[in-house]
Amino acid sequence: MKNFFEFVISIDQFIFLQIFRQTGRGYLDYFFRVISRSADGYLYFPLFILLFALDDQKGQAIFYSALLAFGLELPLYKIIKNP
């Protein structure tokens, strides 16, 4: 099991170094900003509207799953970040 964790850590470190050696390149900076902004929540509402329009039952299930996940994530974030 220790070898597995060491392997995962080595891959994580490799990817981290590959990404951050590339700083200053416009396309990577733009890509990471877009990925970061996508988690701000502005796209959630249009996404749920689209899901409801495409498939009412699955859209509703995904909506409630996301609502539950956000309901758990926000308090945990506050607890962890503000000890």
Average pLDDT over residues 64-76: 85
Does residue 83 sit in the same domain as residue 46?
yes
User: For the chain, how many structural domains are there in total?
Assistant: 2
Parent domain of 17? 1-40
| Whole-prediction pTM | 0.46
Q: pLDDT class for 10, splitting at 50, 70, 90?
A: very high
Does residue 15 sit in the same domain as residue 53?
no
**pLDDT of 20-66, one tens digit each?**
776 566 677 777 777 777 776 777 778 778 887 888 788 788 888 88
Q: CA-based angle 64:67:69, to the nearest 5?
A: 110
Buried b or exposed e, range 11-42, using 16+ CB within 10 angstroms: eeeeeeeeeeeeeeeeeeeeeeeeeeeeeeee
The answer on pLDDT for 72 being more than 80 is yes
The torsion angles phi and psi of 40, rounded to 5 degrees, stand at: -75, -15
